[in-house]
Amino acid sequence: MRWLVVLDPIDGLKSRTDTSLAVINKAREKDIEVDTATIEKLYFEVQASVVATNSTGNQRPVLLRDYDLIFMRKEPPYDLNFHYATQLLSLSETLVLNNPSCLRDFNEKLIVLPFSKHMPPTLVSSDLQVIEHFMSQYDQVVIKSLDSFQGKSVQKIGKNDQGIVAAFTEDGTKPVMVQKFLKEVFAGDKRVITLGDQVLGAAMRRPKQGYHANFASSDALQTGLTDKEQAVMTEVGPWMVEQGIHFAGLDFIGEFLTEINITCPTGIVQISELDGRDLAGEIVDYFVRLAQQSSPGIN
């Protein structure tokens, strides 16, 4: 079996905790041939292709259709280069995870809105008056850029911070997400990893200081799902698979669903260590089954 993993430059990844590297290494342990490439290496000449790097560091052109599976792991932000890369991946005859059309269609902040009944009070707008009215209902809110990730461009503000709102919205011309601030974040932001329509594992990310909760700046604590959170997953999981999302990271604060990360969710190394499991191995096995179902002749 032969895979391609599209990701950021490998020399910039943290070898001990990076999810992409954990999956690549586990796949190679299972005798899967895994090539890697950045999005700049994708191209089209008669057919969708890539200049791929193999496990020994050698580069050569390969048709995308020659792979049994392509794992798209380029980190946000979603920009035009990312958009063009998903279009090239859509031209492949190979199974791509997550589905590139889904990556185009769903912004990582907006994808959660169909499930707003499970979310904290949330507004998406660029209109300064609409935002001001929403903010007036709460002591504090969190404002988020729609293209932010890993807690970047996320700020807690109060009713008098209209200057910050103007900056985030570029004077009312750029939409943002505004949510009621949940004090429960100080106890932790729960990352839930899904594989297919099932929960693979979870970890509580408790900020070491402040309110930004991510694996880079938080303590990772062992946790499980509450009945309320599991009910949300039972609803959201099958919907994601219908869209072609087979690997995702959902975030809960105080049992409220806040985000669904589909481009490059992280946390499998930390959860594996906390739970004494091999999540990378479970992911590889699941991907192998998907690839075999997509092309039954694959060994």
Q: Tens digit of pLDDT for each residue in 267-293? A: 999 999 999 999 999 999 999 999 999
Token representation of residue 105: 């269609």
Q: Determine phi and psi for 111, rounding to 5 degrees.
A: -60, -25
Strands 122-125 and 176-180 turn out to be antiparallel
Residue 213 host element (H or E)? none
Residue 29 scores a pLDDT above 90: yes
CATH number assigned to the domain comprising residue 17: 3.40.50.20
- CA distance to 99, 109, 165, 192, 199, per residue, from 140 (Å): 37, 20, 13, 26, 32
Residue 116 lies in a domain: no
The pLDDT score that the predictor gives to residue 161 is: 94
Residue 252 lies in a domain: yes
Q: Determine phi and psi for 116, rounding to 5 degrees.
A: -60, -25
- 51 and 94 within one domain: yes
Residue 90 lies in a domain: yes
- 11 and 58 within one domain: yes
- CA distance to 100, 123, 287, per residue, from 104 (Å): 6, 22, 21
- What is the three-class DSSP state of 271? helix
Which amino acid type is present at position 20?
S
Residue 148 scores a pLDDT above 70: no
- 252 and 188 within one domain: yes
- 32 and 67 within one domain: yes
From 181, 214, 233, give the residue that closes a domain.
181
Residue 33 lies in a domain: yes
- 75 and 17 within one domain: yes
Residue 188 lies in a domain: yes
- 176 and 194 within one domain: no
CATH number assigned to the domain comprising residue 201: 3.30.470.20
CATH number assigned to the domain comprising residue 152: 3.30.1490.20
Q: How far apart are CA 3 and CA 32, in angstroms?
A: 7
The pLDDT score that the predictor gives to residue 299 is: 64
- 74 and 32 within one domain: yes
The mean of the pLDDT values for the chain is 94
Strands 95-97 and 69-72 turn out to be parallel
- 144 and 171 within one domain: yes
Q: How far apart are CA 81 and CA 49, in angstroms?
A: 16
For the segment 221-229, the average pLDDT, to the nearest whole number, is 97
- 47 and 60 within one domain: yes
Q: What is the pLDDT of residues 75-123, one digit of tens each?
A: 988 889 999 999 999 999 999 999 999 999 999 899 999 999 999 999 9
- 152 and 139 within one domain: yes
**% of the chain beyond a pLDDT of 90:** 88
Residue 27 scores a pLDDT above 90: yes
The pLDDT score that the predictor gives to residue 149 is: 59
- 64 and 153 within one domain: no
Residue 72: pLDDT band by 50, 70, 90 thresholds? very high
**Residue 171 β-bridge partners:** none
Residue 113 lies in a domain: no
Residue 271 lies in a domain: no
The pLDDT score that the predictor gives to residue 240 is: 98
Residue 112 lies in a domain: no
From 181, 200, 226, give the residue that closes a domain.
181
CA angle 203, 204, 209 (to 5 degrees): 140
Q: How far apart are CA 68 and CA 19, in angstroms?
A: 20
Kindly report whether the global pTM for this prediction surpasses the value 0.75: yes
Q: What is the pLDDT of residues 149-196, one digit of tens each?
A: 555 588 999 988 999 999 999 999 999 999 999 999 999 999 999 999
From 181, 207, 226, give the residue that closes a domain.
181
The pLDDT score that the predictor gives to residue 175 is: 97
Helix 268-275 to helix 279-294 angle (10° resolution) is 120
Token representation of residue 88: 């090239």
154 touches 212 (CB < 8 A): yes
Owning domain of residue 210: 184-261
**% of the chain beyond a pLDDT of 70:** 98
